[in-house]
Amino acid sequence: MAEKERTAIVLLVDGSEEMEAVTVVDVLRRAGIAVTIAGVWDGSCVKCSRNVKICTDAVFTDATQDKSYDIVILPGGLNGSKAFASSVEVGRLLQKQDSENKLIAAICAAPTALKTHNIGKGKRITSYPSMKKDLCEDYEYCEDKVVVDGNLITSRGPATAIDFSLTIIKELLNEEKAKNVANGLLYEGYK
């Protein structure tokens, strides 16, 4: 019997961190994970934090209507993370994902959106260093590159995006697949 295809949704808004978004999408697709890039606001392109434009696969409302994903991923970027935090729709998706004990991943400043939407409080997390003070009271803050606690995966920033992506592969698929993708990337830092 064939294994069920794993699915991921990467949310994007103007101000999202492009390195984190593109790295995650690329690395997960190399592992055979079906990734949907969903623009939270209307429009087919998002202008990221360094003025790189990324065309989305779908608008958030269409991508999430009557569909669930194995993992919801929030790239960082300060303005993008603030937009995720202020979005009622993103909050509903994260709360649904959390209530079903499905994976949620956030990198860089995006863990602040998790806090706003009451996701994973009390769990171990990490973030971009300047976000630490905003998260310490509600989470057990760690300074590792990537932190996994239950259904929550968090990471530090652009330079940790490959480790973050490989950890997502490990959690969704398995360690061997993560190592194979790392080898294909010629990435020696993954353990």
SS (H, E, C) the chain: CCCCCCEEEEEECCCCCHHHHHHHHHHHHHCCCEEEEEECCCCCEEECCCCCEEECCEEHHHHHCCCCCCEEEECCCHHHHHHHHHCHHHHHHHHHHHHCCCEEEEECCCHHHHHHCCCCCCCEECCCHHHHHHHCCCCEECCCCEEEECCEEEECCHHHHHHHHHHHHHHHCCHHHHHHHHHHCCCCCCC
Burial class (CB in 10 A: 0-12, 13-18, 19+), 187: middle
How many CB atoms sit inside 10 A of residue 138's CB?
Answer: 16
Catalytic residue among 45, 48, 55, 108: 108
The number of angstroms, rounded, from the C-alpha of 101 to the middle of its chain's C-alpha atoms is 15
Q: Is there a catalytic annotation at residue 108?
A: yes
pLDDT at 36: 97
- The average pLDDT across 15-33 equals 98
**179 backbone dihedrals φ, ψ, rounded to 5°:** -65, -40
Could you give the angle at which helices 18-30 and 161-172 cross, rounded to 10 degrees? 40
- The average pLDDT across 49-66 equals 94
Above 80 in pLDDT, residue 191? no
Tens digit of each residue's pLDDT (9 = 90 or more) over 126-150: 999 999 999 999 999 999 999 999 9
Above 60 in pLDDT, residue 1? no
